[in-house]
Homo-oligomer: A and B are copies of this chain.
Amino acid sequence: MRQGARLQPLNRSVGYALKQATTALHNAMATSLRPLGLTVPQYSCLELVSQKPEQSNAQLARGMFVTPQSMNDVLRGLQSRELVERPDEPAVGRARPTKLTAAGQAQLARARDALAPIEQRMLAKLGVADQEQLLVYLRSITDSLEHCAEDADSAV
């Protein structure tokens, strides 16, 4: 039983701390977005479409780390409320490039205003250099785990 040797208490575990931070952030965002009638994935999608307009559903899905089906769910919700628009007829291939409507831009601006205090608060105790370092750490983790996933896939 060698587990005993490397066992660390939960409060020392990066995975545990990561989950707590994400849960806290998600709850705070969801609470602030609810009055606007937006969920967290819907807001993320608006942000993504704003920053990278005219992308296909598949491209957006990759950008948000979800399946095309999940992204399509989110897009349909936003489209039915006329916050984003896609041509009825595909432009090229089957792709229907998405962009924000005027209402979508206004809603995104409201969402950013609602979320600004949260981001500010979240990072309150961290200096600019700390934030940069934190980003480096998080990207390192994500990269390493993605390679891990690729290995798992190819192993099957």
Contact = CB atoms under 8 A, between A and B. Distances in A.
Interface string A100-138: 000000000100110011110111111000110111011
Nearest to A32: B152
Interface in A8-49: 9-10, 12, 14-25, 27-29, 31-32, 44, 47-48
B3 A145 contact: no
A22 B24 contact: no
The bracket for how many chain A residues form the interface is 35 or more
Contacts of A143: 125
How many copies the complex holds: the figure is 2
A76 interface: no
A130 B137 contact: yes
A1 interface: yes
A114 to B, nearest CB: 12
Contacts of A109: 1, 3
Contacts of A28: 145, 148-149, 152
Nearest to A15: B25
B18 A18 contact: yes
A27 B118 contact: no
Contacts of A142: 17, 20-21, 24
A139 interface: yes
The 10 lowest CB-CB distance pairs between A and B, nearest first, are: A24-B145, A17-B138, A22-B22, A134-B137, A21-B138, A21-B141, A121-B148, A21-B142, A125-B140, A20-B142
